[in-house]
Chain A
Amino acid sequence: MSAIVISALLGVVMMLSGLILKKSTQVQWIAVLGAVLLLAASIFDHQLVVSKGTQSYYGMLELNSYTAWFNVLISFCVMMYILIFRKSIATVGRSDAEYFALIFFVMCGVYLLSTYSNLLILFIGIEVLSIPQYIMAGSDKESLKSNEASLKYFLLGSFSTGILLMGITLLYGATGSFDILSSKFADQFVQVSSLSSLSFIGIILLIVSFGFKASSAPFHLWTPDVYDGTPTAFTPFMATIAKVSIFLAFIRLFHFSFGNVSEAWQFTIAIMIILTLLLGNVTAVYQQSVKRMMAYSSIAQAGFMLFAIFSFNATSWQGIMLYSVTYTLASIGVFAVIIKMKDYTYEGFNGLAKKEPVLALTATICLLSLAGIPLTGGFFAKYFVLSATVEQGKMIWLVVFAVLMAAISAYYYFRVIMSMYFKQGDAEVSIETTSLEKALLIINAAIIILLGILPGLIIL
């Protein structure tokens, strides 16, 4: 609860700080301080849950051990993101403080989504999460691509919010309650045979809108253009932190409330998984720009996270936690290198290892993690989500399909590694890397490897 309040307040503080503080570096460090404060608040919330058990607020929010821990993890990721990208964020356009304010407003949405127990809060959370992102996408006002990204995202995004609202309305009509923890709500979802058509359609509409926000096929078409057009400083934030919180909202609702009627929606999710993995991975292979490849790869990674929704047990919760953290940190590490490059194509990366050995090494570790190679956190993330499906025992062929897709993903991730290490070339770096940034990137890579050796550190 305190994290939600503080994140909203921080947004206001950041806006004011732009008026008061003259230097951009001061604003940046205020933002870093804010992120640390947010982490502290999340830890405080977590301690509250640990000592006093699940906390409920006015029948609207419920903080249990999983979600409190997720908030801590995601706050840590945001802190890493702001630390690594603070300079790039401040130089996207003219209004540096506002960009940080947007990030904190999105964070407010993230915390709402991870703790909601009421469908109204779900709706508000998604709106609070999305609207600042529309602005972020268009924050480079002079770039046509950025404007296009913003408009596309806004139009399609509001459409999907409409579908979400429709789904919530139908569920309300079927149950007479917005409170997902109330018995009135739960009674409607006891078994498949007694499921009313109203609530069935409601569930499907929710899947559609969650699928849209989480960039799952066939609702993924906005993703490449938006992630590509968005200023590179914001893409990792939108593709990771904002997206994984959608997954938490998704898993929360579907496991707690619709778990008993899984037969009604599991097959739909399975089809989404197949399409997402297939389209995401195969299209990523054909990209010439690393940034666009990362956009498609984020679709493919969403396919793996969908496995956690598909199979609901304790393992899938552990999987989504681990996946959120490792995927976020690894993407941040890769984008931190992309943003330095003059040329985003694969050729632009040729020979980077000789010029910037630290950047190349940290990016390699992050790419190996995204590909799911052991000794990186990405391996255990994939391990847990796939293992959850095997544990459930249904549709094991889906897991085999997924690992084949993971092998395809190795192709495009390794292409970057090949460019950096094995190809001759003169990779041009447009922004110098300070030693502080290098240290941060090394810490980031070290955390990824640490999670690859001891995943037990963050799974509950």
Chain B
Amino acid sequence: MLIVLLILVPFLAGLAAMAMPSSKVHIHAIGASVLTLVLGSVCYYYFTHPGMGETTFSYPWIEKLGASFSVAMDDGLTVLMVMLTALAFPLIFISLLNKIPDRPSTFFGLMLMAQAGLMGVFLAKDALLFYLFWEVALIPVYFLSSMYGGPRRIPVTFKFFVYTFVGSLIMLVSMIYIYQQTPIHSFSWSSFVSVGQSLPSNQQNWLFWMMFVAFAIKMPVFPFHTWQPDAYEQSATPVTIVLSALMVKMGLFAVVRWLLPVIPLGSMHWMNIVMLLSIIGVVYASFMALVQTNIKRLIAYSSIAHIGLMCAAIFSHQIIGMQGVAIQMFNHGINILGLWILVSIIEHRLNTQDMREMGGVAKIAPAFTIALVLISLANIALPLTNGFIGEFMMFNGLFNSVSPYRTVFTVVAGLGIILAAVYTLGMIQKVAYGELKTSTSSFKDLSKNEWVVLIIVMFIILWLGFYPSVLMKLVDVNL
């Protein structure tokens, strides 16, 4: 029963926030998100200590269809994603304490609802419920991105919405198709998996693309990525965090949870194509990141490159690669969250996203610079930061895959790491070092609330970098 609260608490808190006066809503949002984090931690404790409490819940929902409200936190990947979602929102809300958005009731209400939707996606064990949350998570984010952000936000967000909506509708058709093949007409994950094993391979081959397109758009994988740099750039940075730290993980998560087990033959059959697209994405996005002058676009492209590598590693069909992906999904979420918070600080202080107008802040804002350097290094997977272990395992999986082109893929993907170092270090240089300019001379160092958030992020980065076995244990037993 506790697990349902992970969805219900943010949802109800979001509804309540919309009706609240602006002055109190911020504290309310922080309180609700911290409560969700506590609930998530309890569920995490239950998961790691079997027998302490229930982490599954199931209740018949639409009995005529065989759909049930069935949620469970029964594997490492789900735990990681739920914890990431539970952790990200309080951090975002605390970092906003000195940058309160307009119309805060609407803003925090929609943010909390987005959290509820994301939780639902990660927890759902029923295909129809999964689809429902998949769409429901999108609606608040659509409104948030359209209401807060840059001047081109409305058309850009709409493009994002249409892309994902088309993808998910096609996924729905394939889910209905699989559902019709289940012997007792059930939407449960287990019945989908057992049907998936028995579907003939020619059907799996087209079903694969109907589902994969939806997930590929969300991740996004080349060539479905065109919505992403624009959307990241134009959305207000707190919303960008939700998009890039959490929503894109929905795509990866769905591939691991709903695509590989349900369409196993199809996934094997198209393995090379998907890996090829992912690797092209890694290289392409890395080169694009090199030439960006807008810091938000740079991070957006770096995100495409990272996600591309994760997608390729999933399709290596190797256990170690998958475990690496699960670990990296969590760590990438933490790192990119930290980066975006730093970006929001820059935006707030300097009122620009253009890196040519930045520089020299290392002299006057040492704390900010330390955080920037550390989080950036984690983003390029330096050893002893959290990014390293996952990336190492993913490359290991990629290199051991059954694909005949595995060597080429691994080598070319390795190029992505080098390029990542180039553009990330370049970014640090442009933002923090060089001569102090007139525009940056009054740059204030971190405020208290920003300190708290970044200390937590940096602590996680170093802790998991030194001692990754916390994560390893989670994904080791069962993915």
Question: Which A positions have Cβ atoms within 8 angstroms of B?
Answer: 318, 368, 373-375, 379, 383, 386-387, 390-391, 393, 396, 399-400, 403-404, 406-407, 410-411, 414, 418, 421-423, 454-456, 459
Q: Which residues of A contact B173 (CB under 8 A)?
A: 386, 390, 396, 399-400, 403
Q: Which residues of B contact A396 (CB under 8 A)?
A: 173, 177
Does the CB pair B131–A374 fall under 8 Å?
yes
Among B146, B161, B210, point to the contact of A410 (Cβ < 8 A).
B161
Does the CB pair A373–B158 fall under 8 Å?
no
Does the CB pair B158–A375 fall under 8 Å?
no
Q: Which residues of B contact A404 (CB under 8 A)?
A: 166, 169-170
Given A386-B173, A406-B169, decide whether A421 and B63 contact each other with a Cβ distance below 8 A.
Answer: no
Asked whether B35 is an interface residue with its Cβ less than 8 Å from the other chain, the reply is: no
Q: Which residues of B contact A454 (CB under 8 A)?
A: 61-62
CA distance A418 to B143 in the complex (A): 9
CA distance A411 to B166 in the complex (A): 11
Does the CB pair B162–A407 fall under 8 Å?
yes
Q: Which residues of A contact B179 (CB under 8 A)?
A: 387
- Shortest B217–chain A CB gap in Å is 12
**Complex interface bits, B106-147 against A, C-beta within 8 A gives 1, otherwise 0:** 000000000000000000000000011001100100010011
Q: What are 25 pairs between A and B in contact, CB < 8 Å?
A: A373-B139, A374-B131, A374-B135, A374-B136, A375-B135, A379-B132, A386-B173, A386-B176, A390-B177, A390-B180, A391-B180, A393-B180, A399-B176, A400-B210, A403-B166, A403-B172, A406-B169, A407-B162, A410-B165, A423-B154, A454-B61, A454-B62, A455-B62, A456-B64, A459-B64
Does the CB pair B158–A414 fall under 8 Å?
yes
Q: Which residues of B contact A375 (CB under 8 A)?
A: 132, 135-136
Known A-B contacts: A374-B136, A410-B161, A455-B62. Give 6 more (CB < 8 A). A373-B135, A373-B139, A386-B173, A387-B180, A410-B165, A421-B143
- Shortest B258–chain A CB gap in Å is 16
Q: Which residues of A contact B154 (CB under 8 A)?
A: 418, 422-423
- Shortest A241–chain B CB gap in Å is 26
Q: Which residues of A contact B161 (CB under 8 A)?
A: 410, 414
Residue of A with least CB distance to B169 = A403
Q: Which residues of B contact A455 (CB under 8 A)?
A: 62
Does the CB pair A374–B132 fall under 8 Å?
yes
Smallest CB-CB A-B distances: 4 pairs: A403-B169, A374-B135, A407-B166, A374-B132
CA distance A456 to B147 in the complex (A): 35
Does the CB pair B135–A418 fall under 8 Å?
no
Does the CB pair B139–A368 fall under 8 Å?
yes
Q: Which residues of A contact B180 (CB under 8 A)?
A: 387, 390-391, 393
- Shortest B22–chain A CB gap in Å is 15
Q: Which residues of B contact A423 (CB under 8 A)?
A: 154
Q: Number of B residues whose C-beta is below 8 Å from A?
A: 27
Among A374, A387, A400, A421, point to the contact of B147 (Cβ < 8 A).
A421
CA distance A210 to B131 in the complex (A): 35
- Shortest A370–chain B CB gap in Å is 14
**Complex interface bits, B32-66 against A, C-beta within 8 A gives 1, otherwise 0:** 00000000000000000000000000000111100
Residue of A with least CB distance to B143 = A421
CA distance A393 to B176 in the complex (A): 11
- Shortest B473–chain A CB gap in Å is 36
CA distance A368 to B136 in the complex (A): 11
- Shortest A252–chain B CB gap in Å is 22
Q: Which residues of B contact A368 (CB under 8 A)?
A: 139
Q: Which residues of A contact B147 (CB under 8 A)?
A: 421-422
A contact face: mostly helix, strand, loop, or mixed: helix
Residue of B with least CB distance to A368 = B139
CA distance A418 to B132 in the complex (A): 23
Among B63, B139, B146, B166, point to the contact of A418 (Cβ < 8 A).
B146
Residue of A with least CB distance to B185 = A391
- Shortest B365–chain A CB gap in Å is 35
Question: Which B positions have Cβ atoms within 8 angstroms of A?
Answer: 61-64, 131-132, 135-136, 139, 143, 146-147, 154, 158, 161-162, 165-166, 169-170, 172-173, 176-177, 179-180, 210
Q: Which residues of B contact A374 (CB under 8 A)?
A: 131-132, 135-136
CA distance A455 to B173 in the complex (A): 19
Residue of A with least CB distance to B128 = A383
Q: Which residues of B contact A456 (CB under 8 A)?
A: 62-64
Does the CB pair A411–B162 fall under 8 Å?
yes
Q: Which residues of A contact B162 (CB under 8 A)?
A: 407, 410-411
CA distance A130 to B176 in the complex (A): 38
CA distance A33 to B139 in the complex (A): 39
Best-surrounded residue of A318, A393, A410, A454 (most CB of chain B within 10 A): A410
Q: Which residues of B contact A383 (CB under 8 A)?
A: 172, 176
Does the CB pair A403–B131 fall under 8 Å?
no
Residue of B with least CB distance to A456 = B62
Q: Which residues of B contact A379 (CB under 8 A)?
A: 132, 135
- Shortest B256–chain A CB gap in Å is 22
- Shortest A181–chain B CB gap in Å is 27
CA distance A454 to B132 in the complex (A): 12
Q: Which residues of A contact B210 (CB under 8 A)?
A: 400
Q: Which residues of B contact A391 (CB under 8 A)?
A: 180
- Shortest A283–chain B CB gap in Å is 18
- Shortest A416–chain B CB gap in Å is 13
Best-surrounded residue of A373, A374, A400, A418 (most CB of chain B within 10 A): A374
Q: Which residues of B contact A407 (CB under 8 A)?
A: 162, 165-166, 169
Does the CB pair A403–B170 fall under 8 Å?
yes
CA distance A318 to B62 in the complex (A): 13
- Shortest A65–chain B CB gap in Å is 15
- Shortest A28–chain B CB gap in Å is 33
Q: Which residues of A contact B139 (CB under 8 A)?
A: 368, 373
Q: Which residues of A contact B132 (CB under 8 A)?
A: 374-375, 379
Residue of A with least CB distance to B138 = A373
Q: Which residues of A contact B62 (CB under 8 A)?
A: 454-456
Among A400, A418, A421, point to the contact of B158 (Cβ < 8 A).
A418
Residue of B with least CB distance to A391 = B180
CA distance A422 to B176 in the complex (A): 35
Does the CB pair B165–A387 fall under 8 Å?
no
- Shortest A166–chain B CB gap in Å is 38
CA distance A374 to B134 in the complex (A): 9
Q: Which residues of A contact B176 (CB under 8 A)?
A: 383, 386-387, 390, 399
- Shortest B389–chain A CB gap in Å is 37
CA distance A301 to B131 in the complex (A): 22
CA distance A414 to B166 in the complex (A): 14
Best-surrounded residue of B63, B143, B154, B176 (most CB of chain A within 10 A): B176
- Shortest B415–chain A CB gap in Å is 36
CA distance A26 to B63 in the complex (A): 45
- Shortest B117–chain A CB gap in Å is 10
CA distance A456 to B69 in the complex (A): 14
CA distance A455 to B132 in the complex (A): 13
Residue of B with least CB distance to A407 = B166
Q: Which residues of A contact B170 (CB under 8 A)?
A: 400, 403-404
Q: Which residues of B contact A400 (CB under 8 A)?
A: 170, 173, 210
Best-surrounded residue of B165, B166, B169 (most CB of chain A within 10 A): B169
CA distance A411 to B165 in the complex (A): 11
CA distance A375 to B11 in the complex (A): 13
Residue of A with least CB distance to B167 = A407
- Shortest B36–chain A CB gap in Å is 20
Residue of A with least CB distance to B63 = A456
CA distance A400 to B171 in the complex (A): 10
- Shortest A188–chain B CB gap in Å is 32
Q: Which residues of A contact B136 (CB under 8 A)?
A: 374-375
- Shortest B257–chain A CB gap in Å is 19
CA distance A2 to B165 in the complex (A): 46
CA distance A275 to B461 in the complex (A): 56
Q: Which residues of B contact A418 (CB under 8 A)?
A: 146, 154, 158
CA distance A418 to B162 in the complex (A): 14
- Shortest A407–chain B CB gap in Å is 4
Residue of A with least CB distance to B132 = A374
